[in-house]
Amino acid sequence: MKIITYFLLLFTVIAWGQTDSTRYATFKKQLLTKSNSKEKLLVYDSIIKYGEKLGYPKDFEAYALAGIALSKKLKDNVSLAHKTSFLMSYYNTSKGTPEATEPYAQQVFKMDKKGVYAKDLGNVYMYYGESLYYTGKSKEAIPYIEKALKIFVDSKDKRSEGFARLYLSWPLGSLGEFAKASIELQKSLRVFEELQDNKAIYSARSELATLYSKNNFIKEAKKERAFLFKDKSVDTFTKAILYFNQGTDEGKTGNLKQQVENYKTAMAEAKKTPNANILVPIALLELTTKLYELDRPEEAAAYFATFHKEFPGQNDYHKNSYLSALTAQSIYAADWTKAKRLLQEQIKNNRANNDWENLLSAQKKYVQVLEKLGDYKNALTTHLAYTHLKDSIMDVQKANGLSYYQTLYETEKRDKIISKQQADLDLLDAKRKASERLLYIAVIAAISVIGITLLLIKQRQARKEQKLQEQFSRHLLQTQEEERTKISRDLHDSLGQQL
For residue range 94-134, list pLDDT tens digits in order.
888 899 999 999 999 999 988 999 999 999 999 999 999 98
What's the average model confidence in pLDDT over 316-320? 79
What number of helices (H) and strands (E) belong to the chain? Answer: 20, 0
Nearest to 277 by CA among 59, 125, 58, 126: 58
pLDDT at 63 exceeding the cut of 60? yes
| pLDDT for residue 409 | 46
**If you average pLDDT over each of 213-222, 294-303, 364-373, which comes out highest?**
294-303
**Which tens digits make up the pLDDT trace of 436-467?**
777 778 888 888 888 888 888 878 887 777 77
Position with higher pLDDT, 171 vs 410: 171
Position with higher pLDDT, 308 vs 94: 308
What's the average model confidence in pLDDT over 286-305? 94
Residues comprising the chain, all counted:
499
pLDDT confidence tier of residue 207, bands split at 50, 70 and 90: confident
Position with higher pLDDT, 363 vs 335: 335
pTM recorded for the entire structure: 0.66
What's the average model confidence in pLDDT over 203-219? 82
pLDDT confidence tier of residue 173, bands split at 50, 70 and 90: confident
- The radius of gyration computed from the CA coordinates of the chain, to the nearest angstrom, equals 41
Q: What's the CA gap between 23 and 50, in Å, rounded?
A: 7
Nearest to 64 by CA among 25, 34, 104: 104
The answer to whether residues 164 and 149 touch, using CB atoms and an 8 Å cutoff, is yes
| pLDDT for residue 253 | 83
pLDDT at 14 exceeding the cut of 50? no
| pLDDT for residue 479 | 74
What's the average model confidence in pLDDT over 274-294? 90
Residue 75, SS3 per DSSP: coil
| pLDDT for residue 429 | 67
Position with higher pLDDT, 422 vs 120: 120
Q: What's the CA gap between 191 and 166, in Å, rounded?
A: 11
pLDDT at 270 exceeding the cut of 70? yes
The answer to whether residues 154 and 118 touch, using CB atoms and an 8 Å cutoff, is yes
Nearest to 308 by CA among 281, 327, 331, 332: 281
Position with higher pLDDT, 317 vs 439: 439
| pLDDT for residue 214 | 76
pLDDT at 74 exceeding the cut of 80? yes
| pLDDT for residue 334 | 93
What's the average model confidence in pLDDT over 367-375? 89
**Helical spans, DSSP H, in 76-234:** 77-92, 102-110, 118-134, 138-154, 158-174, 178-195, 198-214, 218-230
Element (H, E) at 450: helix 376-498
**Which tens digits make up the pLDDT trace of 399-421?**
555 455 445 545 555 555 545 55
